């Protein structure tokens, strides 16, 4: 008799649409879904930890002057987390240390795309562009940095005159 009383509410709920409540029916109807979601979350968590560990290793290599090993670790980190701000910043620094200005520009462009309101990144992209002889484009980023942080004297003074001075 008690089994009949337990089954009747389930059948009744299914008949009137209650079985579509996600709170309890999904786990009954799809028992593996929660497990798969937890597996995916765990895999993501492990990937993030792995990326952070690689980045710490890269920083240690960079501090020791071994840019080749640092670059390898940073590239592996970026494979796991392509939009990692710290990894992109480290990659740009390594590229500059290895005199690979165009690569550094690429990393800074990605950083600017991810954080367009970051004055420091705008300024650093301007610096590297200037180093590579792209003065007009560098000036645009210097201007943007000074607009984002108008009280920063370094950003204000970094703008490069692009026209010849006028002498009286």
Model pTM?
0.69
Predicted pLDDT of residue 119: 95
The C-alpha atoms of residue 45 and residue 56 are separated, in whole angstroms, by 17
Encode 81-120: b = buried (16+ Cβ within 10 Å), e = exposed: beebebbbbbbbbbbbeeebbebbbbbbbbbbeeeeebbb
Which CATH code is given to the segment(s) 100-160? 1.25.40.10
pLDDT at residue 147 in the model: 93
- CB neighbours (10 Å) of residue 50? 14
Tell me the C-alpha distance between 138 and 80, whole Å: 31
- What is the per-residue pLDDT for 21? 47
Q: What parts of the chain have a pLDDT lower than 70?
A: 1-33, 160-168
Position of tokens 């003074």?
A: 157
- Specify the pLDDT at position 155: 87
Which pLDDT value is given to residue 72?
93
């Amino acid at each position: 008799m008690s089994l009949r009383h337990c089954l009747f509410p389930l059948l009744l709920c299914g008949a009137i649409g209650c079985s579509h409540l996600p709170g309890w029916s999904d786990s009954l109807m799809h028992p593996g879904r929660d497990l798969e979601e937890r597996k995916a979350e765990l895999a993501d968590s492990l990937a993030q930890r792995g990326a952070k560990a690689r980045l710490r290793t890269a920083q240690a290599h960079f501090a020791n002057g071994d840019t080749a090993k640092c670059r390898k670790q940073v590239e592996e980190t970026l494979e796991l987390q392509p939009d990692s701000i710290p990894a992109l910043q480290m990659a740009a620094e390594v590229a500059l240390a290895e005199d690979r200005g165009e690569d550094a520009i690429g990393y800074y462009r990605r950083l600017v795309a991810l954080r367009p309101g970051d004055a420091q990144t705008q300024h650093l992209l301007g610096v590297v562009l200037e180093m590579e002889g792209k003065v007009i484009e560098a000036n645009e980023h210097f201007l943007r940095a000074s607009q984002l942080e108008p009280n920063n004297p370094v950003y204000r003074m970094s703008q490069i005159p692009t026209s010849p001075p006028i002498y009286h």
